[in-house]
């Protein structure tokens, strides 16, 4: 009886020991926070992927607007959907430490004159933008994506 109990206790202790070993290893693999690296430039593979972003913009606008006519009640929704979809897909590219701004403008082609201009104060070695437009008979859609590096 006593032996059996002892035996049980021993096995329990061993199991507990096994548990505690298992509990210890995760703690060991947790590294302390790395010291700050002060990297002011993205690595070679981490730069803003201009061509990929351009492909995303073009394909998203085509998906959403192909074959459609301008409708004033639907246009705001289209603009929102395109902006969110582009932002989502650009995030999936996982460009580290880049902040993304996407702006979509949907215009009705009615003969009005439109002029746009932009100026940026940023670091031209790390920050970049990509823009593209989609045009059909009644809709003119322009999307621009800015990527700004966070030091």
The residue from 15, 96, 120, 135 that contacts another protein (CB under 8 A) is 120
**Shortest distance, CB of residue 103 to another protein, whole angstroms?**
4
Side-chain half-sphere CA neighbours of 75 within 13 A: 15
CA angle (81 as vertex; 78, 82 as ends), nearest 5: 85
The residue from 27, 33, 66, 114 that contacts another protein (CB under 8 A) is 114
Residue 28 is encoded by which pair of tokens? 């060991």
Span 75-104, contacts to another protein by CB under 8 A: 75-76, 78-80, 82-84, 86-87, 90-91, 99-104
Q: Is 127 exposed, middle or buried (0-12, 13-18, 19+ CB in 10 A)?
A: middle
The residue from 26, 32, 67, 111 that contacts another protein (CB under 8 A) is 111
Closest to another protein by CB, 11 vs 138, is 138
């Amino acid at each position: 009886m006593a032996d059996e109990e002892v035996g049980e206790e021993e096995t329990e202790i061993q199991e507990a020991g096994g548990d505690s070993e298992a509990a210890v290893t995760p703690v060991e693999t947790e590294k302390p926070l790395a010291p700050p690296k002060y990297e002011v430039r993205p690595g070679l593979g981490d730069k803003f992927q201009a061509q990929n972003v351009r492909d995303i913009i073009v394909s998203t606008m085509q998906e959403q607007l192909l074959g459609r006519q301008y409708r004033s009640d639907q246009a705001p929704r289209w603009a929102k959907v395109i902006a969110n979809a582009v932002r989502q897909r650009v995030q999936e590219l996982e460009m580290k430490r880049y902040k993304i701004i996407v702006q979509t403008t949907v215009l009705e082609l009615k003969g009005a004159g439109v002029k746009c201009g932009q100026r940026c104060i940023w670091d031209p070695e790390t920050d970049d933008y990509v823009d593209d437009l989609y045009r059909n008979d009644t809709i003119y859609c322009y999307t621009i994506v800015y990527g700004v590096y966070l030091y």
